[in-house]
Amino acid sequence: MKKVEFSPSLMTMDLDKFKEQITFLNDHVDSYHIDIMDGHYVPNITLSPWFIEEVRKISSLPMSAHLMVTDPSFWVNQLVDLKCEWICMHAEVLDGLAFRLIDQIHDAGLKAGIVLNPETPIETIFPYIELVDKITIMTVDPGFAGQRFIESTLDKIVALRELREEKGYKYVIEMDGSSNRKSFKKIDAAGPDIYIVGRSGLFGLDDSIETSWGIMKKDYEETTGKALV
């Protein structure tokens, strides 16, 4: 059975305990999820490429930038310069840009991801799906932490797994939004490769990141019947 990966959303971490939390998580997670919001595509403004540089001072894990922005070209240029391992762009703003930006990311030796909002069908990305390294399914509306889990979005994860097997595509499938004890079993049944965990699933469980991780691990194992290694 393929190992499920966990990628903490650092937008929801306790920045007062930045070094402590990253140092602990370095030994337990597979990558870090960096939300970059421009205040236009979504109302909030959060992390930036600068934050990736700060994390890299104390971590060698891959980083995945989630661009919630109206001008993906501007941000892709910066992230390519930083050699951010995964650069993930919303399909909803890629009309006329997708092939060029995916090629730019690949030419830099990096991986290109596509993100789909809850309302966006997977057919939207069929013209370039064979080029994509990762597809992220939003299980909440983008831009805010702590939202209601939208269960119907899991159907897209199932469909993407079936399509990958049928066509031989190479993308990994990631879910993003309200991944926690209440939803772990449903998410597990859909079968994504990567879980994004944020405030409700990890950082908000306890003041101690070590205790929070223990609670999350127990929640996942008890609800899915699978060991988290």
Tokens standing for residue 41: 């595509």
Going across the sheet that includes 86-90, the strands are 5-8, 194-197, 172-176, 134-138, 111-116, 86-90, 63-68, 32-37
End-to-end CA distance of the chain: 12
The three-class DSSP label of residue 213 is: helix
Q: Annotation-wise, does 35 bind a ligand?
A: yes
Cα distance between residue 201 and residue 209, in whole Å: 12
- Which residue among the candidates 35, 38, 133, 193 is catalytic per the annotation? 35
Contacts for 132 with CB less than 8 Å, ≥ 6 apart: 102, 112, 113, 114, 125, 169, 171
In contact, 31 and 63? CB cutoff 8 Å: yes
Q: What string of DSSP letters covers 120-173?
A: --GGGGGGGGGG-SEEEEESS-TT-SSPPP-GGGHHHHHHHHHHHHHHT---EE
Q: Annotation-wise, does 90 bind a ligand?
A: no
Known catalytic membership, residue 71: no
Known catalytic membership, residue 35: yes
Q: Annotation-wise, does 145 bind a ligand?
A: yes
In contact, 73 and 102? CB cutoff 8 Å: no
- Which residue among the candidates 38, 176, 193, 219 is catalytic per the annotation? 176
Q: How many CB atoms lie within 10 A of CB 114?
A: 24
Q: Annotation-wise, does 30 bind a ligand?
A: no
Q: Annotation-wise, does 146 bind a ligand?
A: yes
Q: Annotation-wise, does 176 bind a ligand?
A: yes
Cα distance between residue 54 and residue 43, in whole Å: 24
Q: Annotation-wise, does 143 bind a ligand?
A: yes
Binding-site entries: 33, 35, 66, 143-146, 176-178
Binding-site entries for a divalent metal cation: 33, 35, 66, 176
Binding-site entries for substrate: 66, 143-146, 176-178
Q: Which residues are catalytic?
A: 35, 176
